[in-house]
Structure 1
Amino acid sequence: MSKEKKFLTCDGNQAAAHVSYMFSEVAAIYPITPSSTMAEYVDEWAAAGRKNIFGETVLVQEMQSEGGAAGAVHGSLQAGALTTTYTASQGLLLMIPNMYKIAGELLPCVFHVSARTLASHALSIFGDHQDVMSVRQTGFAMLAEGSVQEVMDLAGVAHLSTIKSRVPFVNFFDGFRTSHEIQKIEMIETDDLAPLLDREALADFRSRALNPENPVARGMAENGDVFFQHREACNKYYDAVPAIVEDYMNKISEITGRKYGLFNYYGAPDAERVIIAMGSVTQAAQEAIDYLVEQGEKVGLVSVHLYRPFSAKHFLAAVPKTAKRIAVLDRTKEPGANGEPLYLDVVDCYYGVENAPMIVGGRYGLASKDTTPAQILSVYENLALPEPKNNFTLGIVDDVTYMSLPMKAEVALGDKSTYEAKFFGLGADGTVGANKNSVKIIGDNTNKYCQAYFAYDSKKSGGFTCSHLRFGDKPIRSTYLVTTPNFVACHVQAYLHMYDVTRGLRDGGTFLLNTIWEGEELAKNLPNKVKRYFAEHNITVYYINATRIAQEIGLGNRTNTILQSAFFRITEVIPVDLAVEQMKKFIVKSYGKKGQD
């Protein structure tokens, strides 16, 4: 008997926190963007008395640095408590010494990482795989997800597998693109996962805890006579991981109906050109593949889930036997290396294989650089060349060392029924918060799928923000910015002169402007190129003076709720009365703690 599906409108961090809470007894935390909200959720739920699988409340302890958090995780594991932490970027690097110890001592645990750029020539708070790639040598198993739904489905696999295998796990997904992207997803609940827990393996873990009744010596120093032999003793544990992970993925697939493998193939069964990638780019790639397969092209994609230990057997089974050319996409850069890590792993899998395909590698998406289906088309075009470019870059124009693939014009490849909206705002004017609420209102009150992603510069308060929203009747795989919106709202009139706010707005689309100008003055002050765009593309234009309304009703510079109601009125995505009623609920939720006024 299948139980009723329960939907949740949330981001990747909340999905990871939701699952990790079930399996954690202790969480040692230290905040770092973009992982902070995972720890915040866990802290909030613990304070509210939420229970984990064992019927207990998680003990949350904030430390004074990431090194401290990792040390606390290590100590807590030695004491026999299931312990978790959440981190990214330099924070993860500060945990490396403890990670070697945790793995070397075969202590089961999961580090949830919203993968982020490392500071090199400059710092960036945005997402790529540089941090997780720099811990692949620690002995942690590594599990990757490409969407918010995958995080919900597979985060539990990391927790279940680590307990059974004794090998610790890094569970990672793309910082910002997955960690902060809001999607309507199917929820997995405690009673789905609790029966899958290996209670015997858990009892063994507890029995190994440091205990004055059974004294043991740990963490000794060894010399060359025995160190090497002991270091090799862990091999059998790592050899067992792929089968354990695969078994749990099969069990999760039975619960959800979504098929997961260590490597998932998507595309033409007889594909000749195949991309290998992991993370959120796999979703956008699926759109490009559907487009090409419809035109009769033989292309496909292998999405990597279990990255460490890398199972060559499972990998080769996932790639179609017809593959003649392979492009491996890495979201990291290792200057001076012969190629990036995933590329080198794939090349190694074909060592000694007869008629092995030609393999090239490329880099994409550093610091959340947007990766679109048009760029994926470029990769397939490169593979079709007599001599495909190796070691290429994607999505930038490299006119210095000429490593980049040609930039193609963007094409709208998402589902035709999907409605796309873009909101230009100012950091701290409430635009982002209001849009988060809008998506939740639509997700919770309709059968529509929805997605929201918020692009902002690192100045945050007072900086530029752009919200990208999508709604549709089918699941949304567009893991990139909205480039062809049906609706654009410009909440700051100065942006008309600063940014190309009408760019890509579809013919017959809608434009909403928050402005203090009216009538003749508005016509005079609108830039000519904007007026021309409106005329040529038959755009319906609305304007509102939300700034004045906000001041009149005592909201100060918070124009968000006024503009949010304007959006619902104009687009009628849901009935206006329902929208207003739900907005009032969310306003109480967002601002209630500041007092009833």
Structure 2
Amino acid sequence: MIDDGLVRAHRARALSPDHPVLRGSAQNPDVFFQARERCNPYYTAFPAIVQKAMDRFAKVAGRQYRLFDYAGAPDAERVVVLMGSGAEAAHETVEYLVARGEKVGLLKIRLFRPFDVSAFIDALPKTVKSIAVLDRTKEPGAAGEPMYQDILTAIGERLNQGDLPFAFPKVLGGRYGLSSKEFTPSMVKAVLDNLSAPTPKNHFTVGIQDDVTHLSLDCDSSFTTEGDDVIRCHFYGLGSDGTVGANKNTIKIIGEDTPNYAQGYFVYDSKKAGSITVSHLRFGPRPIRSTYLVSSANFVACHAFVFLEKFDMLKAAMPGSVFLLNSPFGPEEVWDKLPRSVQQQIIDKGIKFYVIDGYKVAKDSGMGGRVNTIMQTCFFAISGVLPKDEAIAAIKNAIKKTYGGKGEEIVKKNFEAVDATLANLIEVMVPQKATSAFDKPPVVSALAPDYVRTTLAKIIANEGDDLPVSAMPI
């Protein structure tokens, strides 16, 4: 799609002392206004040019995009409008609700500026009665956020022109996802439910608890659109221990060697090396639109034993899920080394519990403290995503690709670690009751100031998402 001649011409226009040019010259008030308006034809023509490029891309890649893409019921009465990655979570939710008889839809904005009013109006179903416009920004003091304002203006202008093809709908604006805040199907459903409420909230927020101005929508955290045939995993590792790299290889292996689709999100602590990393992986038989973190996992792996006393590892573990622990304690003694609350979670949720001393296997294989390959092998052995022999072969092939450039010795050590892993992976028989004599210590001292105990402690415990607006200092 890219014309090499145009690329060369663009490069030739680069600033150079060999052929100086004057750019960005100052303009006085007598002509600035005219010069500003002189570019209007280019903005007018731009949407059609973008659509033409989208059509060319469709012929090359097979994926058709439009300036505004609609998904949902053809006779939808409630429509959500948004752009960016959040649109995929909304798409997933709308498909789920439409399959259950709800008249809802989603309009994805592919080109925000210049805003093509005609293309926008044409993309909406003619049955629309209410619209929720979601902006991923906050405009303090404004009458509304940018996209909300644009859409109100677009519909109002077409009404004034007398050619609006449907009755003027109720239009509400809302905010979501600031600073990459989670945006999940339960939040999309809350937005759609708000549209059908007798007195819906306008200028609402979703995804937080606003107990100050009370603009937030209530969400049903139990609502999910993910099927039971989707494998959802949490992997807790130490920064720079190789966990993230191993999980990226796992995604490649499953995506390339099985019929499953694969997805991975990686959450890093701001301190990076030596602090916690959480890998969120999904595998399933259908394309994955879940542009949000895993909130209910059927496989949880803890690669550092010390995390058990610091974080709630099993909060998101589903009933009957698997818990894999890298432990210096063997299967006979590890149970009494777990905090009492962790034991109770394992019992209450009927979790299958596996342990391996990954550090010992790594040391014996000459890999120092890097347990990534070992824990990756454990995952394939337990999950059954691939037959064991195929999984081992795929892991070793990934090792060659990843570490081949570092020398044969590094590859050999990783191979030895893979071969030694299965013999050291052991399922722990879970007792019927918790017996531990200790529990997780408090995140901060009980003598700490109130703000530290009620607010900072939540953030330290990775529970900052649960804090209400009132907890934030002014």
1:446 correspondence with 2:251: no
Cα shift readout 1:326-373 (whole Å, capped 9, x = no counterpart): 111111112222211111111111124443211111111112211110
Q: What SS does the aligned partner of 1:350 have?
A: helix
Q: Find the counterpart in structure 2 of residue 351 from structure 1.
A: 156
1:457 correspondence with 2:269: yes
Alignment CA distance shift 1:464-1:214 (3 Å): closer
Indicate the structure (1 or 2) with the bigger Cα radius of gyration: 2
- Alignment equivalent of 1:222, drawn from 24, 27, 32: 27
How far the C-alpha of 1:227 sits from its partner, in A, is: 2.1
- Alignment equivalent of 1:405, drawn from 217, 232, 241: 217
Q: Distance in 1 between matches of 2:138 and 2:310?
A: 33
Alignment CA distance shift 1:507-1:202 (3 Å): closer
Instruction: Determine if contact 1:513/1:543 at 8 Å carries over to the other structure.
Output: yes
Alignment CA distance shift 1:225-1:422 (3 Å): same
Q: Distance in 1 between matches of 2:11 and 2:328?
A: 66
Alignment CA distance shift 1:288-1:218 (3 Å): closer
Q: What SS does the aligned partner of 1:509 have?
A: strand
Q: Find the counterpart in structure 2 of residue 326 from structure 1.
A: 131
Alignment CA distance shift 1:537-1:397 (3 Å): same
- Alignment equivalent of 1:562, drawn from 368, 374, 387: 374
- Alignment equivalent of 2:105, drawn from 275, 287, 300: 300
Instruction: Determine if contact 1:414/1:477 at 8 Å carries over to the other structure.
Output: no
Instruction: Determine if contact 1:484/1:506 at 8 Å carries over to the other structure.
Output: yes
Q: Find the counterpart in structure 1 of residue 415 from structure 2.
A: none
* 1:458 counterpart letter in structure 2: S
Q: What SS does the aligned partner of 1:307 have?
A: coil
Instruction: Determine if contact 1:263/1:304 at 8 Å carries over to the other structure.
Output: yes
Q: Find the counterpart in structure 2 of residue 518 from structure 1.
A: 330
Instruction: Determine if contact 1:397/1:407 at 8 Å carries over to the other structure.
Output: no
* 1:333 counterpart letter in structure 2: K
Alignment CA distance shift 1:493-1:270 (3 Å): same
Equivalent runs, 1:23-422 vs 2, <5 Å: 193-194=1-2, 197=3, 218-354=23-159, 355-422=167-234
Q: What SS does the aligned partner of 1:397 have?
A: coil
Q: Distance in 2 between matches of 1:212 and 1:586?
A: 48
After TM superposition, the structure 1 stretch with the greater mean CA deviation from structure 2, 366-375 or 352-361, is 352-361
Instruction: Determine if contact 2:326/2:356 at 8 Å carries over to the other structure.
Output: yes
Instruction: Determine if contact 1:412/1:484 at 8 Å carries over to the other structure.
Output: no
Q: Distance in 2 between matches of 1:352 and 1:407?
A: 34
How far the C-alpha of 1:407 sits from its partner, in A, is: 2.8
- Alignment equivalent of 2:392, drawn from 577, 580, 583: 580
Alignment CA distance shift 1:213-1:403 (3 Å): closer
Number of equivalenced pairs: 402
After TM superposition, the structure 1 stretch with the greater mean CA deviation from structure 2, 576-585 or 278-287, is 576-585
Q: Distance in 2 between matches of 1:549 and 1:468?
A: 25
After TM superposition, the runs of 4+ consecutive aligned structure 1 residues lying more than 6 A away are 201-216
Instruction: Determine if contact 2:68/2:108 at 8 Å carries over to the other structure.
Output: yes
In structure 1, the gaps of 5 or more residues are 1-192
Alignment CA distance shift 1:439-1:403 (3 Å): same
After TM superposition, the structure 1 stretch with the greater mean CA deviation from structure 2, 393-402 or 251-260, is 251-260
How far the C-alpha of 1:304 sits from its partner, in A, is: 0.7
After TM superposition, the structure 1 stretch with the greater mean CA deviation from structure 2, 222-231 or 203-212, is 203-212
Instruction: Determine if contact 1:273/1:299 at 8 Å carries over to the other structure.
Output: yes
* 2:64 counterpart letter in structure 1: K
* 1:374 counterpart letter in structure 2: S
Cα shift readout 1:487-513 (whole Å, capped 9, x = no counterpart): 111112222232222223223221111
How far the C-alpha of 1:377 sits from its partner, in A, is: 0.6
Alignment CA distance shift 1:497-1:565 (3 Å): same
Q: Distance in 2 between matches of 1:207 and 1:316?
A: 41
Q: Distance in 2 between matches of 1:443 and 1:519?
A: 33
After TM superposition, the structure 1 stretch with the greater mean CA deviation from structure 2, 497-506 or 207-216, is 207-216
Q: Find the counterpart in structure 2 of residue 484 from structure 1.
A: 296
Instruction: Determine if contact 1:421/1:486 at 8 Å carries over to the other structure.
Output: yes
- Superposition RMSD in Å: 2.5
How far the C-alpha of 1:258 sits from its partner, in A, is: 2.5
- Alignment equivalent of 1:474, drawn from 286, 300, 308: 286
Cα shift readout 1:3-55 (whole Å, capped 9, x = no counterpart): xxxxxxxxxxxxxxxxxxxxxxxxxxxxxxxxxxxxxxxxxxxxxxxxxxxxx
Q: What SS does the aligned partner of 1:486 have?
A: strand
Q: Distance in 2 between matches of 1:222 and 1:576?
A: 71
Q: What SS does the aligned partner of 1:475 have?
A: coil
How far the C-alpha of 1:447 sits from its partner, in A, is: 2.6
Q: What SS does the aligned partner of 2:360 have?
A: helix
TM-score (norm 2): 0.79
Instruction: Determine if contact 1:415/1:474 at 8 Å carries over to the other structure.
Output: no
Alignment CA distance shift 1:217-1:490 (3 Å): closer
After TM superposition, the structure 1 stretch with the greater mean CA deviation from structure 2, 481-490 or 370-379, is 481-490
Q: Distance in 1 between matches of 2:279 and 2:399?
A: 19
Q: Find the counterpart in structure 1 of residue 452 from structure 2.
A: none
Q: Find the counterpart in structure 2 of residue 424 from structure 1.
A: 236
In structure 2, the gaps of 5 or more residues are 160-166, 411-474
Instruction: Determine if contact 2:331/2:355 at 8 Å carries over to the other structure.
Output: no
* 2:187 counterpart letter in structure 1: Q
Cα shift readout 1:488-541 (whole Å, capped 9, x = no counterpart): 111122222322222232232211111112244312122333333323333221
Q: Distance in 1 between matches of 2:324 and 2:137?
A: 39
Instruction: Determine if contact 1:326/1:358 at 8 Å carries over to the other structure.
Output: yes
Alignment CA distance shift 1:463-1:312 (3 Å): same
Alignment CA distance shift 1:216-1:506 (3 Å): closer
